Amino acid sequence: MALERTFSIIKPDATRRNLTGKVLTMLEEGGLRVVAQKRVELDQEKAEGFYAVHKERPFFNDLVAFMTSGPVVVQVLEGEDAVARNREIMGATDPADADEGTIRKALAESIEANSVHGSDSLENAAIEIAYFFNENEIVG
């Protein structure tokens, strides 16, 4: 096992329903530690840049509209195998497929309004962290 950092977003459906604390409790009880965090509103350009890899997907415009529809909490999580651990705690992208006990099973509204984002690899985690945070904003 290795100590890793991953990138996480608490999405607008969760901030709208005042579920920030609930999401954080599930992440912390799952063994992850918040080492950087801010609550922001994404503008169109920032959201499009973040999801650029999905640009050709049919859901891209709706995804960007959703992610700019309200505040999000962007954060860096640290822990043993943090990338995989965070994905386990989040559950499957579509809440209909998510396991019991996961954030998306418990809280998500739909495949789009699925409450949380988490990096899918250590390489992407580094890219996504740098998209939102300077090194001096990360305090372990």
d(CA 133, CA 76): 9
Q: Of 44 and 140, which CB lies nearer to ligand CMP in the complex structure?
A: 44
Name which position in 84, 106, 111, 126 contacts ligand CMP (CB under 6 A): 111
d(CA 139, CA 28): 16
Sign of CA dihedral 92, 17, 137, 31: negative
Sites for ligand CMP among residues 77-106 (CB under 6 A):
93
Main-chain dihedrals φ then ψ at residue 57, nearest 5 degrees: -75, 150
CA distances to 49, 89, 139 from 120, in Å = 17, 13, 22
Has 54 been annotated as catalytic?
Answer: no
Q: Of 21 and 58, which CB lies nearer to ligand CMP in the complex structure?
A: 58
Beta bridge partners of 38: 74
Name which position in 42, 86, 117, 133 contacts ligand CMP (CB under 6 A): 117
Q: Of 62 and 140, which CB lies nearer to ligand CMP in the complex structure?
A: 62
Binding site for ligand CMP (CB under 6 A): 54, 59, 63, 93, 111-112, 114, 117
Catalytic residues: 117
